[in-house]
Amino acid sequence: MYPNKDSVNYGERAAFIMASTGETVTYAAFDARANRLAHLLRSAGLQHQDHYAIMMENNDRYMEACAAGERAGLYYTCVNSYLTADELAYILTNSESQILITSVAKLEVVQDAVAQCPAVRQVLVVDAAEMDLPEGFDDYAAACRGFPESPIADELLGTSMLYSSGTTGRPKGIIRPLPLQPPAEQLPMFDFLGGLWRYRQGMVYLSPAPLYHSAPQAAVNLTIRHGGTVIIMERFDPQEYLALIERYQVSHSQLVPTMFSRMLKLPEAQRLAYDLSSLEIAIHAAAPCPVMVKEQMIDWWGPIIHEYYGATEGLGFAACDTAEWLAHKGTVGKVVLGELAVLDDEMQAVPQGQSGTLWFKTATEFEYHNDPEKTQEARSADGEMTTVGDVGYVDEDGFLYLTDRKTFMIISGGVNIYPQECEDLLITHPKVEDAAVFGVPNVDLGEEVKAVIQTVSGQIGDEALSDELLAYLAEHLSRQKIPRSIDYIDEMPRLPTGKLYKRVLRDKYWGEGQSRIVQ
| CA dist., res. 369 & res. 172, Å (int) | 7
Helix (H) or strand (E) holding 324: helix 322-328
Judged by DSSP in three states, 451 sits in: strand
| CA dist., res. 328 & res. 314, Å (int) | 23
Both 86 and 207 in one domain: the answer is no
Q: What is the structure's pLDDT at 488? A: 96
DSSP state of 146: T
Domain assignment present for 391: yes
Domain assignment present for 11: no
Last residue in a domain, options 145, 169, 184: 184
CATH code of the domain covering residue 248: 3.40.50.980
| CA dist., res. 267 & res. 265, Å (int) | 6
- Dihedral of alpha carbons 366, 370, 373, 374, sign: negative
Both 31 and 95 in one domain: the answer is yes
Q: What is the CA radius of gyration of the chain?
A: 23
**Exposed / middle / buried, residue 200 (Cβ in 10 Å: 0-12, 13-18, 19+):** middle
Both 261 and 196 in one domain: the answer is yes
Q: What is the structure's pLDDT at 333? A: 52
Both 356 and 443 in one domain: the answer is no
| CA dist., res. 62 & res. 55, Å (int) | 9
| CA dist., res. 368 & res. 386, Å (int) | 12
Would you list the DSSP string of 4-65? -GGGGGTTTSEEEEETTT--EEEHHHHHHHHHHHHHHHHHTT--TT-EEEEE--S-TTHHHH
Both 33 and 168 in one domain: the answer is yes
* Spatial CB neighbours of 41, under 8 Å, sequence gap ≥ 6: 52, 68, 69, 72, 74, 99
Judged by DSSP in three states, 391 sits in: strand
pLDDT tens digits for the chain (519 residues)? 787 655 557 778 999 999 999 999 999 999 999 999 999 999 999 999 999 999 999 999 999 999 999 999 999 999 989 888 998 999 999 999 999 999 999 999 999 999 999 999 999 999 999 899 999 999 999 999 999 999 999 999 999 999 876 655 678 898 999 999 999 999 888 888 888 788 999 899 999 999 998 889 999 999 999 999 999 999 999 999 999 999 999 999 998 888 888 899 899 999 999 999 999 888 887 666 777 788 888 889 877 764 444 433 322 223 333 222 222 334 445 454 457 888 888 889 889 888 888 888 776 778 888 888 888 888 888 888 888 778 888 888 777 777 667 777 788 876 778 788 899 899 989 999 999 999 888 877 778 999 999 999 999 999 999 999 999 999 988 888 899 999 999 999 887 767 777 878 888 887 643 333 322
Domain assignment present for 298: yes
Number of domains in the chain: 4
Q: Is 465 left (phi over 0), alpha (psi -120 to 50) or beta?
A: alpha
Domain assignment present for 8: no
Both 276 and 229 in one domain: the answer is yes
Q: How many CA atoms lie within 13 A of 435 on its CB side?
A: 26
Q: How many CA atoms lie within 13 A of 113 on its CB side?
A: 30
Q: Which residue range(s) make up the domain with 340? A: 336-408
| Other C-beta atoms lying within 10 Å of the C-beta of residue 467 | 11
Both 399 and 468 in one domain: the answer is no
Position 157: which residue type? L
- Backbone φ and ψ for 40, nearest 5 degrees, come out as -60, -45
Both 399 and 426 in one domain: the answer is no
Domain assignment present for 299: yes
Both 252 and 369 in one domain: the answer is no
Both 126 and 94 in one domain: the answer is yes
Both 235 and 355 in one domain: the answer is no
| CA dist., res. 236 & res. 452, Å (int) | 23
- Dihedral of alpha carbons 517, 84, 232, 186, sign: negative
Domain assignment present for 481: yes
CATH code of the domain covering residue 344: 2.30.38.10
Last residue in a domain, options 374, 408, 442: 408
